[in-house]
Amino acid sequence: MTDFSIRSDNVDVEQIMRQIRARIREKRGVDYTEEEIRELANVKLEKFLDPRGVRSDLLEQFRRKREASLPPNFKFEDTTLFETHRGLLAFIRRLLRPILKLFFNPNPLIDALHIQSKLNAQQAALEPLYYEVIHNLVLETTRLGIDVKNLKMRVESMSSRLDFDERRARALEGVVQYRPGAVAPLQPPSGGGDSREARGPESPEQSERRNRRRRRRGRRRPDDRTGAMGPQGAMGARSARGATSAEGATSAEGAAPAPEAERVPSESGYSSDRGLTPGGQSDDRGLTPVHRDPDGEPSES
């Protein structure tokens, strides 16, 4: 994780911005600008998405089809059938219209075509909206696809780290050696017939073996929740919070008076609570940011 701290009088804003950008890249996995995402959505979706789900050239096809299949709408009124730009012909048609109506009734035809014309107009008005919706959907799908890919990578990375940590923890457990005097001797349970005193002094090897047995026994008890959730777990949580606050506001309050720049949260005020970053994807610790009062002093918001 890239962090920055202010230690000298010279602030290199460009350097800070580079670090901030590196941090964003690290958080997002791959750093795409809005324009790049649009480009990806329009051109090469299949590289990033499951090609079974979305056609990569969907937008292009839609656009082409729309442009190709857009005949001009025909506005149809009751006079349309008889219209002409020639005045004489219009007069004759008007004159003969009653005779025409002796043969058939054109009104239902006119009504139907009028309604069709209106429907066409409505459809034409809706099409840009469909286009926009599809465009946005494809864009968002692309974005989500990229996010999913990044998240998968992160999950893989975290699980491999977890595996590694577990292996490391086991290995460390294996090499722990008891050193007399390093840890206060455990007090035996009172009145036990098999107390150490009763059995006499034991060698360091014996003590180490017993400690291991005890640890294993403790691990085997599935119903013993106090080991995980009891005082130690709570303390662990508390100490974690304490650590953060020590890096953050509390340390500043607790510290002796110092120059202004040193009184404020800490040089790692930005880095210590990295889970709190405004991107916020990874934070669930419920920590609060450290605010300063207008003179640069820290205070809890």
Site residues (vs another protein, CB under 8 A) = 4-6, 9-14, 16-17, 20-21, 23-24, 28, 33-34, 252, 260-267, 269-270, 273, 276-280, 288-294, 296-298, 301
**Under 8 Å CB-to-CB from 281, ≥6 apart: which residues?**
27
Name the β-bridge partners of 299: 291
Q: Which is nearer to another protein, 208 or 267 (CB)?
A: 267
Cβ atoms 131, 66 nearer than 8 A: yes
Q: Which is nearer to another protein, 194 or 295 (CB)?
A: 295
**Alpha-carbon torsion 65, 66, 70, 76, what sign?**
positive
CB of 13 to another protein, least distance (A): 5
- What tokens appear for 292 in the block? 């300063």
Identify which of 178, 175, 173 has the alpha carbon closest to the alpha carbon of residue 204.
178
Q: Which is nearer to another protein, 127 or 267 (CB)?
A: 267
CB of 60 to another protein, least distance (A): 27
CB of 250 to another protein, least distance (A): 13
Distance in angstroms (rounded) separating the CA atoms of residues 171 and 157:
21
Q: Which is nearer to another protein, 31 or 202 (CB)?
A: 31
CB of 4 to another protein, least distance (A): 8
CB of 252 to another protein, least distance (A): 8
Cβ atoms 267, 6 nearer than 8 A: yes
Cβ atoms 281, 27 nearer than 8 A: yes
Q: Which is nearer to another protein, 145 or 269 (CB)?
A: 269
Distance in angstroms (rounded) separating the CA atoms of residues 267 and 295:
17
